[in-house]
Amino acid sequence: MTPDLVIRNGRVVTSGSEAMADVAVKDGVITQVGGDIPRGHEEIDAAGKLVLPGGMDLHVHLSPVNLPDRQLAWADDYTSGTEAAAAGGVTTIGDITFPIPGESLPQAFDRAVETASAQTVVDFALHTVLLDPSADKLPEIAQLRERGARSLKIFMHLFGFETRAAEYLRVLAQAGHDDMLSLVHCEDSCVIGHELEKLVKAGDTGIENFPRMRPVSSESAAVERAIAFAESADAPIYIVHLSSARALDAATSARRRGLPVYVETRPIYLLFDESRYQSDTPGLYVGNPPLRSRSDVDALWAGLAAGDIATCCTDHAPWKREQKLAPEVDVTMTRPGMADLETLMPALFSEGVLKGRISLQRFVEATSTNAARLFGLYPRKGTIAPGADADITIFDPHLTKPVRGAELYSRAKMSLLEGVELTGWPVRTISRGETVMLDGEVLGKPGRGRLAQPTDTPAFASPQAPIL
Ligand SMILES: [Zn+2]
């Protein structure tokens, strides 16, 4: 059998192994790793490079939110967002999919699959947002699962969560029953509302006061409550974008008690601290929750190194610079989110691996393998092994270059790392055997991305899963 593609002379790194090995691909699937491999139709020399499982950024916003009271249209759509993914070595994205008013969960999912299938450059998963926790909507969760979804998203600080908390607890229980993982945005709306009221009364509405509005107590209260709900519901939860040491401590002790509580953080909480709100451009750093103290940053790196934090995903929610810095933006009207899908892997490698904060294997787990495990996509995604999709990032660990927002594929055309020299960049991104990025240029065409198909055993169903 002649392989379609052979990647030679690279150092193959997966969760749990690292070795010089050649990789053979046929029909978009990895057929052999190591050993003698005959000449392929296409040969790639990866000497001096790392051969990594393609990145899995399973928390991004590439579709607009259409709610009765507001519309949030981020700068990227499925095409520009997945071009940014391919440019950054990411071969699977997970989009937060909001139903439009009147749509059921499966209707929203089906609509998004159709749009994303026509527009994406790399593969995708969808986390459908549950906005109505009514009892008669609960059967829709199983309908999502029948369609290949393994997750749904709930927000604790929005959409009347506080007044319908008992119903949301039943949602978690139903999701657990249906083997679905609930992504939970953990911030407490009472605390945020009260802090905002104090800021408005004091006339401190400038955006530099943003962190005062959403203090650590708001996050830790919500994380504690989400954990208690998960325990009562006997259901797994995935805490998105965790930002503080206190919240991490709560999640870690829950995990040590045996609860299926998984933690994601995002690059901004590892790269920056709250002093950025005292800069000339505090608005650029607005994300929910806010940047935290230096000791929180250190705690998150330690949590990532120890495996207490499972994943680092971006929550890519791109705005243009002028939108982030618009004069109307203050604590009463924020534009949370930033574009960093394209720099996820270089930033985490440069600041994490090269600075000795995390191992190379932990880097692979945090940017790829663990997300695949948690969302039921492993071992088809998230590893380099026979039978896996040939989603591979060839990564040059010595390439140093500055981040230039204007050169990014994201339509935000800006980066919080503007001008920062990062070392370690993807030089080729391969999606199901096809090169979709080469030397920074995206070659993959919109419409080739597919809904990532789940395997039968999500990690949270197995107490032996390595990240537990
Ligand atoms: Zn998000």
Distance of CA 7 from the midpoint of ligand 1 (Å): 35
Are 243 and 369 in the same domain?
yes
Distance 344 CA to ligand 1 centre (A): 15
Dist. CA 45 → ligand 1 center (Å):
37
The CA-atom distances, in angstroms, between 362 and each of 15, 273, 301, 357 are 7, 23, 11, 10
Is the residue at 162 inside a domain?
A: yes
pLDDT of residue 205: 96
376 and 417 share a domain? Answer: no
- Whole-number Å distance, alpha carbon 257 to ligand 1 midpoint, is 27
Residue 459 has what pLDDT?
A: 52
The CATH code of the domain that includes 47 is 2.30.40.10
Closest Cα partner for 241 from 260, 213, 222?
222
Per-residue pLDDT of the chain (468 residues; tens, 9 = 90+): 899 999 999 999 999 899 999 999 999 999 999 999 999 999 999 999 999 999 999 999 998 887 766 677 899 999 999 999 999 999 999 999 999 989 999 999 999 999 999 999 999 999 999 999 999 999 999 999 999 999 999 999 887 899 999 999 999 999 999 999 999 999 999 999 999 999 999 999 999 999 999 999 999 999 999 999 999 999 999 999 999 999 999 999 999 999 999 999 999 999 999 999 999 999 999 999 999 999 999 999 999 999 999 999 999 999 999 999 999 999 999 999 999 999 999 999 999 999 999 999 999 999 999 999 999 999 999 999 999 999 999 999 999 999 999 999 999 999 999 999 999 999 999 999 999 999 999 999 999 999 999 986 655 544 334 443
Query: Kind and range of the H or E element at 153?
Result: strand 151-155
The reply to whether 462 falls in a domain is no
Please check whether residues 262 and 282 belong to one and the same domain.
Answer: yes
Q: Are residues 408 and 373 in the same domain?
A: no
Question: Contact, 86 vs 429, CB < 8 A?
Answer: yes
CA of 183 to the centre of ligand 1 (A): 10
- How far away, in angstroms, is 269 Cα from ligand 1 center? 14
Among the three residues 381, 409, 433, which one is the final residue of a domain in this structure? 381
Task: State the distance from the centre of ligand 1 to the C-alpha of 35, rounded, in angstroms.
Answer: 42
> In this structure, are 266 and 394 located in the same domain?
no
- Whether residue 457 is contained in a domain is answered as no
Residues in the chain: 468
Question: Would you give the distance in Å from CA 72 to the centre of its chain?
Answer: 19
Residue 453: inside a domain? no
Asked whether the beta carbons of 46 and 7 are under 8 A apart, the reply is yes
Instruction: Give the burial class of 295: count Cβ atoms within 10 A of its Cβ; 0-12 exposed, 13-18 middle, 19 or more buried.
Output: exposed
Query: How many structural domains does the chain have?
Result: 2
- What is the whole-number distance in angstroms between the Cα of residue 65 and the centre of ligand 1? 12
pLDDT given at position 16 = 87
Tokens found for residue 183: 């992504």
Together in a domain, 197 and 325: yes
Ligand 1 centre to CA of 61 (Å) is 6
Res 89: pLDDT: 98
Say yes or no: 261 and 113 in one domain.
yes
Q: List the domain range (segments joined by +) for residue 333.
A: 55-381
Same domain membership, residue 193 and residue 74: yes
| Distance from Cα 94 to the centre of ligand 1, integer Å | 10
- Same domain flag for 196 and 227: yes
459 belongs to a structural domain: no
CA of 315 to the centre of ligand 1 (A): 5
Please state whether beta strands 392-402 and 55-60 pair in parallel, antiparallel, or not at all (unpaired).
Answer: unpaired
- 185: domain CATH number is 3.20.20.140
User: Residue 27 Cα, ligand 1 centroid: separation in angstroms?
Assistant: 34
Place of tokens 């052979």: 6
Q: What phi, psi does 323 have (nearest 5°)?
A: -70, -40
**Is 397 among the domain residues?**
yes
**For 385, which DSSP code?**
S
Residue 226 alpha carbon to ligand 1 centre in Å? 17
Q: Are residues 97 and 148 both part of a single domain?
A: yes
pLDDT of residue 158: 84
Same domain, 61 and 169: yes
Distance 95 CA to ligand 1 centre (A): 9
- HSE (side-chain half, CA atoms, 13 Å) at 308: 20
With residue 107 as reference, give the H or E element that holds it.
Answer: helix 105-119
Can you give the pLDDT at residue 467? 42
Pair (402, 425) in one structural domain: yes
- Residue 257 located in a structural domain: yes
Inside any domain, residue 199: yes
Q: Helix or strand or coil: residue 128?
A: strand
